[in-house]
Amino acid sequence: MKRLLTILIAIIVQSAFAGQQSAAKAQTDPRESAIRKLLQSTMMINQLYVDTVNLDRQVEDAITGMLSKLDPHSAYTNAADTKKLTEPLQGNFDGIGVQFNMLEDTLLVIQTVAKGPSERAGIVAGDRIVSVNDTAIAGVKMSRDEIMRRLRGPRGTVAHLGIVRHGIDGIINFDVKRDRIPLHSVDAAFIIRPGVGLIRFSNFAATTHDEVADAIRRLKKQGMKSLILDLLGNSGGYLGAAAELASEFLPKDDLIVYTRGRNGIQAGEYHSTGSGLFREGELIVLVDEYSASAAEILAGAIQDQDRGTIVGRRTFGKGLVQRPIELDDGSMIRLTIARYYTPSGRCIQKPYAKGDAKAYARDVVERYNRGELTSADSIHFPDSLRYTTLRRHRTVYGGGGIMPDRFVALDTTRFTRMYRELSARSYVVSTNLRYMDAHRDELRRLYPDFDTFRRDFQMPRDVIDVMLAEAAAKDKIKPRDDAELEKTVADLSLILKGLVARDLWDMSEYFQIIYEHDPIVTQALELLQSHAS
């Protein structure tokens, strides 16, 4: 920011000596006049205003204000927020390597990263971290962000941790040498039915292509012939990652996506390299209203090239290309420079009004109010947005997002009102944490492998009853009738079983439990079964 201030001062000083020649030039170039006006106003406020002003904040507010009048995705982030936003896409960070949650006001280790610094130091699941570098983090109502800030740090530095462990009196001290911790995009990869693999990933990061490619190789070795690619809720990420991944499924030179910039000029296009791992075999892509950006690029390419079937609900409709502009202080401007188009020519971006970010943010809610999430008949496309796929010449529509080939209505009755209230107030998570804390060792003895667990384990009803009694006493959360209670108990049993599986193994096991009852996944499996018969 200091460098920016120096530039501002230099420009204003220069303009003061420019004289009539500069004034005449400004008259012929309104852009230069507008920029000079902004710079002069900023400096005059800083120098003459009656109270001291924060010039850094002024400049940030000015940038934010200008960008707010543009499209909904052009944005400014300060240095701290920029780091938080870019870290998941970089694929790693420096830290101690634990997954944790807060049980009451204490950090509880859920899992350690395999071969990571905490595992090497001897920390295990179920440990409570009560201090970091002699500063208490338990019982002091410290925010989660502040705890993470203390645990993370430059690679090679040491975190002195105080640990409380079941069965051992007092505090055990560990010195954990921070290291590079990988962030994985792939949440789950498993055989969901004989010959059918499922790969779920949450974003398109620097490592996503390699992770998905590795998952495809593993599943093919396990007999995978058909693949369900799960993009439900996938928020997108790097365009390059989407293009790399599409190449795993498409023939060589197939168009994946192209972009158009100012005045509709084509800015670039991406084609398949043809070196894919799954160019044959049935492919289904799962999407919903929260699948966005790079997820829509991949789904659109698969659909337009008639390579697979899209199942779910119309995607978010984020088809604007942002160029990251890094500023000297670590802050960043993400400026929209182009639009994405699918191979058939459809614009992915949904309509928006410049400067009206609130209406844009409410679009999914408005879709629900119009019935678009519960009935395909409520979705209407004008003929002007009609396109055809490139091989089978099927009709598809533009106008924002990717409309699936097989629509799956949002099941508004899948979870009861009571379950949603329990989940929103963290009763489900807290119950799981307490149960695992008390029974982790016992569960590992009883269920040495996941197949045994999936077949035999049921969450004890008394655990659920304690949760329901606590919620009724503290927050007056009660069922409307016996039918809602019965359905809520069934919902809780399923989700808690999935959470226990996650804590004993990993996210793949969690999704194997809960996806047995997921409507979109069920439709995909039925579609594959119908094609096979």
421 and 482 within one domain: yes
190 and 178 within one domain: no
Question: Where is 62: in which H helix or E strand?
Answer: helix 55-68
Asked if pLDDT for residue 116 goes beyond 70, the answer is: yes
Asked if pLDDT for residue 533 goes beyond 70, the answer is: no
What is the predicted pLDDT for the residue at 153? 87
**Which tens digit of pLDDT belongs to each residue from 325-382?**
998 888 999 999 999 999 999 999 998 888 888 888 889 889 989 999 999 888 888 8
59 in a domain, yes or no? Answer: no
What is the predicted pLDDT for the residue at 27? 54
254 and 341 within one domain: yes
- The mean pLDDT of the chain is 89
Decide: helix, strand or coil at residue 389: coil
Q: What gap in Å lies between CA 402 and CA 527, rounded to an integer?
A: 19
What is the predicted pLDDT for the residue at 91? 66
What is the predicted pLDDT for the residue at 12? 45
Residue span of the structural domain in which 172 resides:
93-182
Which has the closest alpha carbon to 410: 456, 365, 455, 356? 365
Range with lowest mean pLDDT among 25-29, 209-213, 247-251 = 25-29
Active site residues: 293, 318, 322
377 and 442 within one domain: no
71 in a domain, yes or no? Answer: no
What is the predicted pLDDT for the residue at 360? 87
Give pTM, 2 decimals: 0.86
Please give the average per-residue pLDDT across 196-216, as a whole number: 95
389 and 299 within one domain: yes
Residues pairing with 227 in the sheet: 197, 283
77 in a domain, yes or no? Answer: no
- The token pair at 278 is 């799954």
Please give the average per-residue pLDDT across 405-416, as a whole number: 92
Decide: helix, strand or coil at residue 189: strand
Asked if pLDDT for residue 158 goes beyond 80, the answer is: yes
Please give the average per-residue pLDDT across 170-199, as a whole number: 92
- The token pair at 22 is 């500069």
What is the predicted pLDDT for the residue at 99? 84
SS3 content of the chain, % helix, strand, coil (to 5): 45, 20, 35
Range with lowest mean pLDDT among 24-38, 247-261, 361-375 = 24-38
105 and 6 within one domain: no
Question: What are the strands, taking DSSP E only, across 104-185?
Answer: 106-112, 128-132, 135-136, 158-164, 172-177, 179-182
φ and ψ at 78, to 5 degrees? Answer: -70, 180
Decide: helix, strand or coil at residue 192: strand
φ and ψ at 135, to 5 degrees? Answer: -105, 125
Q: Indicate the number of domains in the chain.
A: 4
What is the predicted pLDDT for the residue at 28? 57
Please give the average per-residue pLDDT across 163-171, as a whole number: 86
Specify the pairing of strand 283-287 against strand 309-312.
parallel
Cα separations in angstroms, 172 against 27, 109, 412: 73, 15, 48
What is the predicted pLDDT for the residue at 9? 47
> Domain of 158: which CATH number?
2.30.42.10
236 and 140 within one domain: no
Asked if pLDDT for residue 23 goes beyond 80, the answer is: no
340 in a domain, yes or no? Answer: yes
168 in a domain, yes or no? Answer: yes
437 and 340 within one domain: no
466 and 351 within one domain: no
- Banded pLDDT at 139 (limits 50, 70, 90): confident
Residues pairing with 264 in the sheet: none
Q: What gap in Å lies between CA 269 and CA 470, rounded to an integer?
A: 57
207 and 143 within one domain: no
- Banded pLDDT at 26 (limits 50, 70, 90): very low
What is the predicted pLDDT for the residue at 387? 95
End-of-domain residue from the set 407, 427, 448? 407
What is the predicted pLDDT for the residue at 53? 84
End-of-domain residue from the set 407, 431, 461? 407
**Which tens digit of pLDDT belongs to each residue from 288-300?**
999 999 999 999 9
End-of-domain residue from the set 368, 385, 407? 407
Q: Work out the burial of residue 325: count CB atoms within 10 Å of its CB; fewer than 13 is exposed, 13-18 middle, 19 or more buried.
A: exposed
Please give the average per-residue pLDDT across 243-248, as a whole number: 96
248 and 133 within one domain: no
Asked if pLDDT for residue 121 goes beyond 80, the answer is: yes
**Which tens digit of pLDDT belongs to each residue from 468-518?**
999 999 999 999 999 999 999 999 999 999 999 999 999 999 999 999 999
What is the predicted pLDDT for the residue at 111? 84
64 in a domain, yes or no? Answer: no
> Domain of 227: which CATH number?
3.90.226.10
Strand order in the sheet with 309-312: 186-193, 196-201, 226-230, 283-287, 309-312, 406-407
**Which tens digit of pLDDT belongs to each residue from 50-74?**
888 888 888 888 888 889 899 999 9
Residue 454 burial (CB count, 10 A): 15
Q: What gap in Å lies between CA 252 and CA 279, rounded to an integer?
A: 10
**Which tens digit of pLDDT belongs to each residue from 301-322?**
999 999 999 999 999 999 999 9
The residue with tokens 């634990």 is 98
294 in a domain, yes or no? Answer: yes
495 in a domain, yes or no? Answer: yes
353 and 232 within one domain: yes
Of residues 485 and 24, more confidently modeled? 485
Asked if pLDDT for residue 402 goes beyond 70, the answer is: yes
Residues 6+ apart with CB under 8 A from 15: 22, 36, 40
